[in-house]
Amino acid sequence: MERPSRRILLVDCDQFFVQCARLADPEGAGKQDLLLVGGTKEGRGVVTSASYATRAFGVRSGMPTGQALALCPQAMVAPVPGRVCGERSAAVREVLKRFTPVVEPASIDEAYLDLTGTERLYHGESLADTAKRIQADVLRDTEIQVSLGGGTSKIVAKLAASWAKPAGVFIVEPGEEESFMRRHELADIPGVGPVSAASLRRYGLVRVDDVLAMDEASLKQVIGDRHGAWLHARARGLDGGHVDPVHVARSMSRDETFSHDIDDDSTLARELRRLIRRLGQSLREDGTRARTITVRLRDRDFRTRQASFTVAEPIETDAAIYEVARPLLLRLRKDRPIPARLIGVSASNLMEKQEQSQLGLFAEKKLESDRDRTISRVTDELRDRFGGNAIGPADLMDRREREGLGGWRKREDEE
DNA sequence: TCTGGGGTCCTAGGACCC
DNA sequence: TCTGGGGTCCTAGGACCC
């Protein structure tokens, strides 16, 4: 028996950061056709999102802002309006949930919807008509313009959305997947980036057509079993993916590119502590703890190095994270002591609080106590109420030192 | 014109255990 | 005294996405 084909939509906000910047600043950015969001004239940023008018000049997102301004000197540069982006993203999601509970946010400005089984509920309405109603509701209730792609798989819906832009709807009917895929180059397929595309090109594989002409066995012989099976399916518009409304974070990270390279160990240590403060607060807000801490440095020459360490018992306080991170930073600096342009810290091996009661029993040394965690939550509340700098990390760390919990602050190299 | 910030997944080698 | 294979965990790096 044949299963009914799935009805999947991808809802994608058009130039999302540009729309948000205009909503955040209606009198300034709101009146600019030529608008770049992200980076500054002087700084090292890149364009996060470029308005459609600037794209006519060859501007693309990901391009250094300086380069974009060279192409389009009249453009206005606006910062990424973080708060507005978060609010509108959540608002769009709420509208989508009115149409189906199966909503999977794929990024801040995209979400997959699975409408399989809603035919009767919507009285046999076509997927295209449902998509148009979603589009109209989102615009009316959030002021955000979206495009929608639809099809029988996530990959088809995703590619269809790019044909729908801007402000359109594009549905690939069941049975039309292969002919739709033939319109594309392999590099258009999500997951085929510049490196894979270049290596496929060496085998004469450029368009989806080139892959459709091959049987799976020959394809596997050329590019390997794993990649062969993967590409064979994608070229036909097939992926194994389901629309999964439950998101579990795998990692959390904070990083920062400096306005000028930093070569001083104590300055780097201070930046690391600032990032850990932000990371720690996010972890606690999320109700998760981490077993693995990774410190990352990007050197002046853009080489990126990282060092990580896994502890037996998951941690969540700034002081404990710093205790793990500090030696990692020292090691990276010792290995290659050249100026750094970026420092980052990430937490992975995340566990929810309920999962972790068994783990700490045999840990040789406690990195944080229940009391530490309570204090750090109180600190979060104070920060929320009185602003980011009300209480510094030193307060907690000094206390640890007084009580002999940490040995890491022996060196006179901080602040 | 020098290259953001936040993520996910995969690979590969070595340690360690059975 | 030498020789296995399998499984899991940790670490480092890289491709890729928005």
The pLDDT tens digits for A23-55 are 999 999 999 999 999 987 777 899 999 999 999
Neighbouring-strand partners of residue A306: A296
User: Do A243 and A102 touch, CB atoms closer than 8 A?
Assistant: yes
| Predicted pLDDT of residue A410 | 34
| Predicted pLDDT of residue A378 | 85
Tell me the pLDDT band of A404, cut-offs 50, 70 and 90.
very low
Q: Determine if strand B comes within 7 Å of the CB of A292.
A: no
Rounded to whole angstroms, the Cα distance separating A162 from A170 reads 9
Tell me the pLDDT band of A413, cut-offs 50, 70 and 90.
very low
In the predicted model, what is the mean pLDDT of residues A247-275?
A: 96
Beta strand segments in A5-67, E:
8-13, 35-37, 49-50
| Predicted pLDDT of residue A105 | 96
Nearest nucleotide from residue A48 CA, by C1' atom = B4
Nucleotides in chain B with any atom closer than 7 Å to protein CB: 1-11
Tokens of A224: 């390997």
What pTM was computed for the model? Answer: 0.89
Nucleotides in chain C with any atom closer than 7 Å to protein CB: 9-18
Q: Determine if strand B comes within 7 Å of the CB of A280.
A: no
Tell me the pLDDT band of A175, cut-offs 50, 70 and 90.
very high
Helix, strand, coil percentages for chain A (3-state, nearest 5)? 45, 20, 35
Average pLDDT, chain A: 90
Look at residue A414 and tell me whether its pLDDT is greater than 70. Answer: no
| Predicted pLDDT of residue A401 | 40
Q: Determine if strand C comes within 7 Å of the CB of A359.
A: no
User: Do A95 and A138 touch, CB atoms closer than 8 A?
Assistant: yes
| Predicted pLDDT of residue A388 | 60
| Predicted pLDDT of residue A106 | 96
Give the distance, in angstroms, between residue A218 CA and nucleotide B5 C1': 40
Give the distance, in angstroms, between residue A39 CA and nucleotide B2 C1': 13
Q: Which of residues 127-186 of A touch strand C (CB under 7 A)?
A: 158
* Span of A8-17, A61-70, A151-160 with lowest mean pLDDT: A61-70
Which sequence positions of A are flagged as catalytic?
110
Rounded to whole angstroms, the Cα distance separating A145 from A306 reads 39
In the predicted model, what is the mean pLDDT of residues A241-246?
A: 93
| Predicted pLDDT of residue A402 | 39
Give the distance, in angstroms, between residue A54 CA and nucleotide B1 C1': 17
Look at residue A391 and tell me whether its pLDDT is greater than 80. Answer: no
Give the distance, in angstroms, between residue A204 CA and nucleotide C4 C1': 43
Top-confidence range, A119-128, A155-164, A370-379: A155-164
| Predicted pLDDT of residue A360 | 46
Q: Determine if strand B comes within 7 Å of the CB of A277.
A: no
Q: Determine if strand B comes within 7 Å of the CB of A301.
A: yes
Cα-based angle A67, A190, A19 (whole degrees, multiple of 5): 50
In the predicted model, what is the mean pLDDT of residues A337-349?
A: 97
Look at residue A159 and tell me whether its pLDDT is greater than 80. Answer: yes
| Predicted pLDDT of residue A241 | 85
Cα-based distances in Å from A64 to A43, A51, A121: 10, 15, 48
Residue with the bigger pLDDT between A410 and A54: it is: A54
* Span of A262-271, A300-309, A380-389 with lowest mean pLDDT: A380-389
Give the distance, in angstroms, between residue A121 CA and nucleotide B3 C1': 50
Q: Determine if strand C comes within 7 Å of the CB of A197.
A: yes
Give the distance, in angstroms, between residue A45 CA and nucleotide C5 C1': 51
Tokens of A332: 């990276």
Nearest nucleotide from residue A66 CA, by C1' atom = B1
Tell me the pLDDT band of A381, cut-offs 50, 70 and 90.
confident
